[in-house]
Amino acid sequence: MKSNKAVVKVMQPKPEEENIAPLILDILGKLGEDPRRDGLARTPERVDKALKFLTSGYRMDIQKIVNGALYEVKYDEMVVVKDIEFFSLCEHHMLPFFGKMHVAYLPKARVIGLSKIPRIVDAFARRLQIQERLTQEVAQTIQEIIDPVGVGVICEARHFCMMMRGVEKQHSGAMTSAMLGAFRDRKKTRDEFLALVNHRGNGF
């Protein structure tokens, strides 16, 4: 039976000195542009730097991100971090998709530092992705690290591959979810999570 366990170890990165700027220079020429005109003279280097940042998740170590920020606490109520903004690149067209992620878990014996959850989201978002896998990877990774009673993740995103090309729908969004443990098995837990995500008040 195939395991659903998250893969915490990341891919072996290419050397940092790998230069993709010459490839961008070639692409610009094939698009019919003059890559040496003033506006494009430094574009290959800028694209090189931007792509390396936008795919920096391949070079992130989840264990180093967590950095021991796990705490033994007698707390068994839901912990929710919502409206985590993220940006990613669609692996099909390498166009951006962006949105917000809401992450919740029910602690069993320990909690994780709150700032670590957005960092985990970034580690998986800064790769070539699809929204469904991104949502699942975040949920499975938190499940693996904290070993809680359950994890719930909801992701809301807009995709430039739908907005700029193809169907060209400007206001369509996509929602995905991953429910593990109690969030999958208990309707009451799921309903509480959804209510907390949808709650707006006191500036939140």
Give the Å distances, CA to CA, from 120 to 57, 137, 164.
9, 9, 29
Q: In 20-166, where do the E strands start and end? A: 70-72, 79-90, 96-106, 110-112, 128-129, 150-159
Query: Exposed/middle/buried for 158, CB within 10 Å: 0-12, 13-18, 19+?
Result: middle
Dihedral, 181, 117, 89, 184 alpha carbons, nearest 10: 10
| Cα–Cα distance, 125 to 132 (Å, whole number) | 11
Enclosing H/E stretch for 179: strand 174-181
Q: At what angle are helices 21-30 and 43-54 packed, to 10 degrees?
A: 120
- Among all residues, which ones are annotated catalytic? 90-93, 131, 159, 161
1: which DSSP letter? -
Which of 158, 3, 150, 171 is CA-nearest to residue 78? 150
Which of 110, 55, 115, 60 is CA-nearest to residue 88? 55
